[in-house]
Amino acid sequence: MSTRGSTRGVVYVHSSPSAVCPHVEWALSGVVGYRVNLRWTEQPAAPGQLRAECAWEAAPGTGGRLAAALKAWPMLRFEVTEEPSRGVDGERLCYVPGLGLWHGRTSANGDTVVGEDQLRALVAASGSSEAVAHKVDEVLGGAWDEALEPFRYAGDGAPVAWLHRVG
């Protein structure tokens, strides 16, 4: 866990048209308050697209603000993670064109956490075991994971930059 008042996470821009890359950096810079320069590489899962990732450290809630800033470009595919910090759950936010934004709370080991009230409502609204299974997959972001998996594999071994203020 991070120290009080600070947490960290990672921004994965899985695919972006090259013309949008400077705008992505501008959006991230606006959230963290200093200039962000990402190292863009080819995205083999989407020829003609680029990918980048960066680790960040900032106040809790920054992950949501980063995702909101990136959502301004609906052609992007991205994920933002935020580690749990004192008194604050971790989170993962995923965006896929056509699916939109998915948000899930995460535990210290990165598992998606589903609250008991959410589970009760899910079971009550589902008439069959197949419907429960479908709803659980939906709550866990299954469609987003399926859509992003080829893009994640393409990023294995890619360079990671750190977003942090110097000085």
pLDDT one-digit tens code per residue, 143-164: 999 999 999 987 555 555 555 5
For 43, half-sphere exposure in the C-beta direction (CA atoms, 13 angstrom radius) is 26
Range of weakest confidence among 9-18, 93-102, 117-126:
117-126
For the chain, the structural domain boundaries read: 7-163
Question: What confidence tier does 11 reach under pLDDT thresholds 50, 70, 90?
Answer: very high
Q: What is the mean pLDDT of residues 9-26?
A: 97
Give the closest residue to 55 by CA, choosing from 92, 12, 9, 113: 9
More confident residue, 119 or 167: 119
Tell me the whole-structure pTM to 2 decimals.
0.86
Residue 4 pLDDT > 90, yes or no?
no
Residue 98 pLDDT > 90, yes or no?
yes
pLDDT of residue 69: 98
Could you give the C-alpha distances from 94 to 7, 12, 79, 113, in angstroms and in order?
19, 9, 4, 15
